[in-house]
Amino acid sequence: MRLKVSFMFLFTVLHTLEGFKILGVFHMPAKSHYMSYNTLMKILAEKGHEVTILASFKDENSPKNYKQIVMEGLYEKYEDNSINWFEFTPLTWIMPIFFNFMTTNLIENTFNHTVFKEFMKTEEKFDAVIIEEFQATAMKYVAHHFNAQLIVYSALDANDWTNPFQGNPDTPSYHPSLYLSHLTNHMSFFERVENTIFYVYAKILSNLINFPAQNRLVHKYYPNAPDLADIAYNVSLVLLNSDPSVHEPIPKVPSMKDIGGFHIRKPKPLPNDLQTVLDNAKHGVVYFSLGSNVKSKDMPKEKRDFILRKFSKLKETVIWKFEDPDLPGKPDNVIISKWLPQNDIFAHKNVKLFITHGGLFSTMEAVYHGLPVLALSVFAEQKLNGKRAETNGFGRHIPFKELTEDNFSETLDDLLKNPKYKENAKMRSQIMRDKPIEPAEAVNYWVEYVIRHRGAPHLRVAALDLEWYQYLLIDVVLFILAVVVAAVLLLRFLVKLIFKKKPTSKKKKN
């Protein structure tokens, strides 16, 4: 027995030294998503693992042990149906339905892609399969297909999409639904009412509409697949893009790990022209970017014009990620470019402020470098990230639809002149950097860990083995109520029996 254990241990060690075979399959054809999961997979390749990635894009600077299989055309389909987020104002209660149709369509585009179909016929063996949790339950079939450990990467903190499949406790009393970005973890009574009702509503939609749709999708392309319910809950590890410097503390089961900041790499040298601009900005630099999904060039002209008017009055240099080479009315102190090395710019000592859409990756980069932020949230979780920056004291938040010339000017002046924002940003930076292990190292460690321990079933909580009514103790509550009611009825019966009046006999009078 000891010899067998020693052999197994030696085999595992040698396998780890050689590197595991890891497959990443990512259905979301958005550039911002690609940059995150591409970074995650490259970390594993740099650690010596043999990595294969199926995605909509290709990285030209990748390691030799990083095999890229590109599903061409998915990004173009996504772009053809893309939304101008400045004009799109979805009703909150419609968002779960909107995401259901959007994500199901994206997954079907992946399943139906010729490259994906051919790859699924391969006889290759993998130790682990990594997918992105973007309401992507059907994608979990890939791990079952290759008989590999299933690892989920989430670009968000623990939420409505990840919690059910890990048995992680939902806490609607202080954890807002990911769709209700106007709420924080300190809610009033009526906000808790709203969050609870929406929580139940989203759960019903998920169980009655989304999950069955994804189950049908799997069996449409793989008729012999088991029921999706037998696959979806078999998740060995969830890697969460969350960090206590940015997110509120919430419960997480042992199989869920924070890796927030993993995408932040050591700054690279800036291009010469950009280096010169930053070095010569004696009054500092304001950096402005709305990310890759929200395009500055699509901004309403009225708001773009008053933003430029305000910029023209600043002594600081403004560097704006602007997708069009022509920007009418651009002041001399504003420099535009359709692409900029954001993290490398943030590392420069002359950058004073970051104007952002409130995306999580951008917010984390700003926090890491100790930069105050002005969040002009447009959609999704951006509003919540902006409110977090304001609550934590390192930024201000204005929803883009509420942006006016007056509140933009006042807020920008406040952020540039009040030192408290910089001080709080530095404090948050210290929190993010104060870790026993770097996030990139944590990614590699936990992926290797679940492979070494054959899926790490010891991290799985027993909640996953319970029906929903058992988990919520509804059966226990009903049983106790039944016992109490039965006891009350029995007591009532006994009392009546004991104190029942006997009929008195009357003597007959002659």
At residue 5 the predicted structure's pLDDT band, cuts being 50, 70 and 90, is very low
What mean pLDDT is predicted for residues 429-452? 96
User: What are 27's two structure tokens?
Assistant: 């259905």
Per mean pLDDT, which range of 153-167, 314-328, 494-508 is the poorest?
494-508
Task: Reply yes or no on whether the pLDDT at 234 is more than 90.
Answer: yes
pLDDT for position 4: 45
What mean pLDDT is predicted for residues 157-170? 92
* Rounded Cα gap, residues 443 and 40, in angstroms: 8
How high is the mean pLDDT of the chain? 90
CA atoms within 13 A on the CB side of 406: 0
Helix (H, G, I), strand (E, B), or coil: what is residue 93? helix
Residue 292 or residue 326, greater confidence: 326
pLDDT for position 440: 94
pLDDT for position 113: 96
pLDDT for position 255: 96
At residue 380 the predicted structure's pLDDT band, cuts being 50, 70 and 90, is confident
pLDDT for position 378: 86
Alpha helices in 170-316 (DSSP H): 189-205, 211-221, 229-232, 272-280, 301-312
Task: Reply yes or no on whether the pLDDT at 377 is more than 50.
Answer: yes
Strands 256-258 and 285-289 come out as: unpaired
At residue 448 the predicted structure's pLDDT band, cuts being 50, 70 and 90, is very high
At residue 80 the predicted structure's pLDDT band, cuts being 50, 70 and 90, is low
* Rounded Cα gap, residues 381 and 361, in angstroms: 12
* Rounded Cα gap, residues 65 and 59, in angstroms: 13
* Rounded Cα gap, residues 195 and 172, in angstroms: 6
pLDDT for position 8: 47
pLDDT for position 82: 65
What mean pLDDT is predicted for residues 108-122? 95
Q: Where are the beta strands (DSSP E) in 322-425?
A: 334-337, 351-356, 373-375, 395-397
pLDDT for position 291: 85
User: What are 473's two structure tokens?
Assistant: 């103790």
At residue 17 the predicted structure's pLDDT band, cuts being 50, 70 and 90, is low
CB 435 within 8 A of CB 367: no
Q: Any idea how long the chain is? A: 510
Question: What is the percent of the chain where pLDDT is above 90?
Answer: 73
What would the CATH number be for the domain defined by 2-260+437-465?
A: 3.40.50.2000
User: What are 89's two structure tokens?
Assistant: 């104002």
pLDDT for position 472: 87
Helix (H, G, I), strand (E, B), or coil: what is residue 270? coil
At residue 501 the predicted structure's pLDDT band, cuts being 50, 70 and 90, is low
CB 290 within 8 A of CB 314: no
Residue type, 288: F
Task: Reply yes or no on whether the pLDDT at 86 is more than 90.
Answer: no
What mean pLDDT is predicted for residues 468-486? 93
User: Residue 370 CB: number of other CB atoms within 10 A?
Assistant: 20
pLDDT for position 98: 85
At residue 94 the predicted structure's pLDDT band, cuts being 50, 70 and 90, is confident
Task: Reply yes or no on whether the pLDDT at 314 is more than 90.
Answer: yes
List Cβ neighbours of 453 (8 Å cut-off, separation of 6 or more). Answer: none
| pTM as predicted | 0.88
pLDDT for position 92: 80
Task: Reply yes or no on whether the pLDDT at 63 is more than 90.
Answer: no
pLDDT for position 45: 96
User: What are 113's two structure tokens?
Assistant: 């892609």
pLDDT for position 336: 94
Q: Which residue has the tokens 């004073």?
A: 352
- Cα dihedral 200, 206, 207, 208 in deg (nearest 10): 100
Question: What is the percent of the chain where pLDDT is above 70?
Answer: 93
Task: Report the phi/psi class of residue 329: left, alpha or beta, with left for phi > 0 and alpha for psi in -120 to 50.
Answer: left
pLDDT for position 308: 95
Classified by CATH at the fold level, domain 272-433 comes out as: Rossmann fold (3.40.50)
* Rounded Cα gap, residues 284 and 496, in angstroms: 88
pLDDT in tens, 178-207: 888 888 888 999 999 999 999 999 999 999
What mean pLDDT is predicted for residues 119-145? 95
pLDDT for position 249: 92
Task: Reply yes or no on whether the pLDDT at 491 is more than 50.
Answer: yes
Residues of the chain with CATH 3.40.50.2000: 2-260+437-465, 272-433
At residue 500 the predicted structure's pLDDT band, cuts being 50, 70 and 90, is confident
* Rounded Cα gap, residues 445 and 462, in angstroms: 24
